[in-house]
Amino acid sequence: MENVKNIWKNTWKKILVVSVLLVVSLIILIVSPNFKKDPNEGKINLIINNTNVTGRLKHNVWINENNIVYVSMEDLENYFDGQIYYDRENNQIITTSDTKVAVLPITNKKMIVNGAEIKLLGGATKKEGIFYLPISEMGNVYNVEINNINQQIITLDSLDRELIKADAIKNINVKYNTKLITKTVDKIKEASKVIIISEKDGYSKVRTENGKIGYIKSNQLTNKTVVRKKIEKQKQIDGKVSLVWDYYSEYVNAPKRSEKIEGINVVSPSFFSLKNTDGVEIIDNALRGGQDYINWAKANDYKIWAMFSNNSMKEVTSKILNNYELRTKMIDDIVNLAIKYELDGINVDFEYMNKEDKNAYSRFIIELAPRLREYGMVTSVDVTAPDGSENWSLCFDRDDLAKAADYLMFMAYDQHGVSSTKTGSVAGYDWVETNIKKFLGQEAVAKEKIILGMPLYTRLWKTDKDGKITSSVINMNKIEETLPRDVTKTWDDLTKQYYVQYTNGSYLCQMWVEDINSIKEKLNLINQYELAGGAYWEKDRETQDIWVLTKEKLSI
């Protein structure tokens, strides 16, 4: 009997020991992550907008003998400039932000920002095959405040983000998280200031003056103050954009306008174009009556996004785009012209380009847009539907262009143009909608960047007895006088246009009519897909009821 008691006694002891070990193991399992060694210990830590990104960096941050902080080009691409670029031919790095273009020659202690040269204590460099930029000297480029804390923690704070600070009411241990048992990441003294990152469930996530990030109870803070308010990016146009292109050639004066056009808020006169020369020369078409046009537009509260065309000169365009010096001169010249005439923006209309120049064209827009934005000006870029020929469609990287520019103008015409081998609509509803979906889908363009361009004209197709097809452009305001009086119009629900067919001698004549009914359907697409607005090619081709319609549909 005594042996049985001893056996049970020993068994319970073993059970108790095992239970204690299990509880201890469980506690260790739960608590240990809160006490694990900081994987960034021993490295120079990089804090970007209150997030420690050190563990995500592709290359370590380093500091030279002059206390210049260097971050790799790859990491800057990830966190600040997705379109940063190494110009191999000139051995320099070009990086952009919202309003700045910075050029940093490798191993040269200088930086050119928006055309102005700045001397640096440490320039861009290459180390073990990796390009590094002196981030501590680039605060004005990326619009960040940079602090170097004891050579161990580098903080980068965007100056357009909200900043809230508070004072500690006593000496406080800043904890790794809000768990009951967790490690201390920093100790702060009474009246020390902290940056408040977020607040939840009675705790505040803070950044200390030592750059450490952790948690304290919210009631241990006082004098909460908004040091810097969030700066919202202001759009030039409230609501939908409604733009009309106002084209005139370089051989005539600008159109004389006197009456207000209802239903639009932006005009795009053809002020500027490239000249066919060996260098860079921009034809200033605003010299021919342009100032009167500008005065009229401003008097009617229209924004002026002047058109800048390459005149479809493929080889001249290619030469300029692929040469940094020429490209920069073109940018300088167009920015200076925009400033000279106090414009609100530039509408870039480069067409008929080499497919191989697609990236070079994107670089042009990437480097142009910040320069214009510095003066509050808009950059809009005309592009075709994302299909078709190399020179008219595949020459555009719509994704890159949309990231750089303020707007992409989708020229939703000509579905069937002058070289078409079959008859059809200039801009059928089905074709337009399909391509809007391509912009939003395969091209990854944000809906708020897309302005839908619509034609204020159509084509009269003629097919002879041998099947040969020809066509001529008929402006919207000339359609009724062009068609026979007794012709029958049939609504085509696919193109959402009236279709007309008749014979004229030996010719079969066809027309897909662009009128207030077809434009109404396209304007509905703008609202359905929540696009940025509409544009119309071109002024003086329309019937006057179009402007009443745009005013109603786009709430102008």
Q: What is the pLDDT of residue 465?
A: 93
Residue 433 confidence (pLDDT) above 50: yes
- Predicted confidence (pLDDT) per residue in 444-468, tens digit: 999 999 999 999 999 999 999 999 9
The mean pLDDT value for 476-485 works out to 97
Identify the band that residue 6 occupies on the pLDDT scale cut at 50, 70 and 90.
low
- Give 493 or 23, the one with higher predicted confidence: 493
d(CA 424, CA 514): 12
Q: In this predicted model, what pLDDT tens digit does every residue of 309-340 receive, in sequence order?
A: 999 999 999 999 999 999 999 999 999 999 99
Sign for the pseudo-dihedral over CA of 159, 160, 161, 163? positive
Looking at the predicted structure, is the pLDDT value of residue 535 above 80? yes
Torsion sign (Cα): 376, 382, 385, 388: negative
Q: What percent of the chain has pLDDT over 70?
A: 93
Peptide bond into 538 cis (omega under 30): yes
Q: What's CA 53's distance to the chain center, in Å?
A: 24
pLDDT of residue 298 exceeding 90: yes
- The interaxial angle of helices 324-340 and 358-373, nearest 10 deg, is 40
Q: What is the pLDDT of residues 168-199, one digit of tens each?
A: 999 999 999 998 888 999 999 999 999 999 99
**29 confidence band (pLDDT: 50, 70, 90):** very low
Give CA–CA dist 147/378, Å, rounded.
Answer: 33
| Whole-prediction pTM | 0.91
CB 449 within 8 A of CB 406: yes
Q: Above 50 in pLDDT, residue 149?
A: yes
Q: Is 337 helix (H, G, I), strand (E, B) or coil?
A: helix
Q: Which helix (H) or strand (E) holds 502?
A: strand 497-504
> In terms of Cα–Cα distance, which of 175, 133, 136, 176 is closest to 154?
136
Per-residue pLDDT, 452 = 98
Q: Which residue has the higher pLDDT, 124 or 387?
A: 124
- pLDDT beyond 80 at 393: yes
The residues near 31 (Cβ < 8 Å, ≥ 6 apart) are 179, 181, 182
Please state whether beta strands 345-349 and 378-383 pair in parallel, antiparallel, or not at all (unpaired).
parallel
> pLDDT per residue over 355-371, tens digit each?
999 999 999 999 999 99
* Cα-Cα-Cα-Cα dihedral sign, residues 151, 153, 158, 164: negative
Rounded to an integer, the average pLDDT of 283-288 is 96
Q: What is the mean pLDDT of residues 9-28?
A: 58
Q: Detail the DSSP E strand segments found in 202-288.
A: 203-207, 213-217, 221-228, 241-246, 266-269, 272-274, 282-284
Domains in the chain, CATH or no CATH each: 45-158 (3.30.457.10), 163-228 (2.30.30.40), 241-456+516-553 (3.20.20.80)
